[in-house]
Structures are given as C-alpha cells and as structure tokens.
Amino acid sequence: MISRRALELATAILTGSFGVAVVVQSLDNGIGWSSEGVDAGTFPFLTGIIILAGSLYNLVRGIVPAATLASVPIAITSIELWRLAGLFVPAAIFVAVIPLLGMYMASAAYVFAVLAFPRHQSVPWSAATAVATALALYVVFERMFQVSLPHGALAAVLGF
C-alpha cells in the first residue's frame, strides 16, 4: 500500500523535476531582453521557476503533514493498487504493441485478453466482442471519418 504522504512526495518530485527540465531547456532559447523583444526562453523560464517553487512548497507540506493529511494516512490500499494495475498494465501493453500489430489487431487482442483471461466473459463471447470492436473501429474511422489508423509492421510484412 501507498501512504498519502509518499504519494504527495512522489507527485511533488515529479512536478518539480518537470520544472527543472523546463528551466534548463528554456536557458537554450535565451532569457531576458534582446533587440527582438522578450526572448523566446523567458516565458517558459518563468513558468519553470514557478513550477519548481510550487513543487518545493508542496514537498515541504508533504513532509510536515497538516492535520488533514494525517486523517487519511493511506492513499492507495494494496487491493486498490492491484485493481489499478489490472487496468493500466494491459492498457500499456496494448499501446506498446500498436507499432507491431497495428491498431485493429492490437485492440482486438487487448479486448480479448482483458475479457477472457480474468474470466469476466466466456471465450467465445470475448472473441466476438474483440472482433466487433476492431470492425467498428474500421467502419467508423477508415470509412466514415477517412482517418487511417496504423496498420502495423506485421501487416506491412504480410503485404497489406
């Protein structure tokens, strides 16, 4: 399980490091005033400083928890963490295999996997849902909206 405090700290560190990255990157564009007016890096530099300062404040608030934080010490219980992973991990794998399998096959495989493996639905029913999803995507995007979704490296090898 993850405590509220740890989550606050992790988020503050996450936003803070984004702030640092913004500050460092904006220095490349120059900050301050030049003959062309305000330099391109100035505005991002200022926002980066604000992000960093705000994150530090939130970090300190996280280390020295106020009364409100103490009242909810646990942010995510282990059961909740398990459920989160159950949604997010398959979704991340789905996104990762899109370049290989293409949008249609990847989404069909994804739907089949999340329905059939945890036994939420029977195998034939999962397969039917998976095929229907891929077909619906094809009709709506490729046909109606004329948006070509990625077909994937595998389809290219097979000659589609």
Partner 1 sequence: MGNLAELLHGFTIAVTVPHLVLMAVGVLLGILVGVLPGLGAPNGVSLLLPLTFGMQPVSAIILLSSMYWGALFGGSVTSILFNIPGEPSSVATTFDGYPMARDGRPTTALATAFGSAAFGALIGVILITFLASWVAQVALAFGPPEYFAVYFLAFASFVGMGGAAPIKTVVALAIGFAIAAIGIDTVSGSVRLTMGIDELVKGVNFVVAVMGLFGIGELLVAVEEEFHARAVSSKIDWREVFRAVGRLPRHSVALLRSAAIGCWMGITPGGPTAASFMSYGIARRFSRRGRYFGTGEVEGIISPETADHAAGTSALLPMLSLGIPGSATAAVMMGGLMIWGLNPGPMLFVDQKDFVWGLIASMYVGNIVAVALVLLTVPVFAALMRIPFVVIAPLIVIICVVGAYSVSNSYLDVVMMLGFGIVGYLFKKLFYPLAPLVLAIVIGDKAEDAFRQSMLMSKGSLGIFFANKLVTCLVVAGIALLLLPLVLQLARPFRKSTSPAAETAAQEKVII
| CA atoms in the 13 A half-sphere facing the CB of 43 | 4
- Enumerate residues 101-140 that contact partner 1 by CB under 8 A: 103, 107, 110-111, 114-115, 118, 120-121, 129, 133, 137
According to DSSP, the residues that pair with 2 across neighbouring strands are 76
Token pair 């389809």 is found at 155
CA distances from 5 to 14, 56, 73, 144 (A): 14, 14, 7, 49
Count residues near partner 1 (CB under 8 A): 69
Provide, rounded to whole angstroms, the least separation between the CB of residue 113 and partner 1: 9
CA distance 85 to 95: 15
Binding region for partner 1 (CB under 8 A): 7-8, 10-11, 14-15, 18-19, 21-22, 25-26, 29, 33, 36-41, 43-44, 47-48, 50-51, 54-55, 57-58, 61, 66-68, 71, 75-76, 80, 83-84, 86-88, 90-92, 94-95, 98-99, 103, 107, 110-111, 114-115, 118, 120-121, 129, 133, 137, 141, 145-150
